[in-house]
Structure 1
């Protein structure tokens, strides 16, 4: 039997590639072309540039690569995945083992054939994704707790707590963890249910 593909561990660099591809697919032109168009337009400010791009059909994520090239990349974009993770827990080192345990759990799915998950680092949280979409988010919410927010259509109860969320937010449940030893069989089962519900 062939080895299962290993899950990906991503930072914003891969996201930039995706956004640049989105720009090309939506408009038929790549980032350098749009940079030239913006410069030729002689726009005076960042706000004017955003407005001009939107009026010319470049909006949302597709706008970011152009704006970042012109006005600078966010600080967190320049960090790799490991640096982003270290930054999240720099002032709460006792919680880092919780994040490590959740990441290890999800990465192990590829080894045993359970599923193909992607771990994607952000500045303040970790996204866990199926090949289709995000199914969980791991966030250090205080100096004493890490919450796993879940895209899961189940009633609250047991480890599953209701999460304060806007009506349009699909992540309405959470698991609150205070130490790595809590990342056990029940947490694993809930995460797997969320993964399968979003595959």
Structure 2
């Protein structure tokens, strides 16, 4: 089961409640009463009440609207990534299957433009539809680029220094499975 942004938004709400003792709904009522006319005015109002970071972010989005990708399901995010790349979807699906086998506690996180594979500690790989004919599997490995491994300068959220370009299902082979497992182990 892949996760989407909704879990993070719920976490932001819990963070707000832990830090202030009041829920998102209670803060929304206070914000409606204060009636800030702009995002900057609301930010200033929240800062005066010592609300910063993620807790502030969720209240701003509650007031002025959430970006579509934050309210989309994991399936909707994945569908959008491969809508114009239908031939690459089976390649991506196979990589996701292999990533789930990389270790006992792999979390799949769908994002707007990539899929993150997360160990209990941190992101260990990312899958990015880079072109209409290639997806890149970024790996968080401390190895020099060689063979199929290429430098990954601007991939996903930029945590993976190397990548493998994949254009067909037959390229998602045992080497890819082994590299995913190694990356998982190195990021525990």
2:55 is matched with: 62
Deviations 1:52-98 (A, max 9, x none): 33454333333232122211121123321111111101011111111
Distance between the aligned counterparts of 1:169 and 1:89, measured in 2? 21
Aligned counterpart in structure 1 of residue 98 of structure 2, from 86, 102, 105: 105
Structure 1 length as normaliser, TM-score? 0.83
Q: Following TM superposition, by how much is the alpha carbon of 1:165 offset from its aligned partner in structure 2, in angstroms? A: 4.6
Q: Following TM superposition, by how much is the alpha carbon of 1:115 offset from its aligned partner in structure 2, in angstroms? A: 1.9
The secondary structure found in structure 1 opposite 2:8 is: helix
1:179 is matched with: 168
Aligned counterpart in structure 1 of residue 142 of structure 2, from 136, 139, 153: 153
Distance between the aligned counterparts of 1:98 and 1:51, measured in 2? 47
Please state if 1:131 is matched with 2:120.
Answer: yes
* 1:165 and 1:172 in contact (8 A); partners too: no
Aligned residues: 187
2:185 is matched with: 196
Distance between the aligned counterparts of 1:47 and 1:55, measured in 2? 12
2:111 is matched with: 122
Structure 2: unaligned runs, 5 residues or longer: none
The secondary structure found in structure 1 opposite 2:2 is: strand
Distance between the aligned counterparts of 1:70 and 1:34, measured in 2? 10
Structure 2 length as normaliser, TM-score? 0.88
Q: Which one is further off, 70-79 or 56-65?
A: 56-65
Please state if 1:23 is matched with 2:16.
Answer: yes
Q: Which one is further off, 41-50 or 91-100?
A: 41-50
The secondary structure found in structure 2 opposite 1:149 is: strand
RMSD of aligned alpha carbons: 2.2
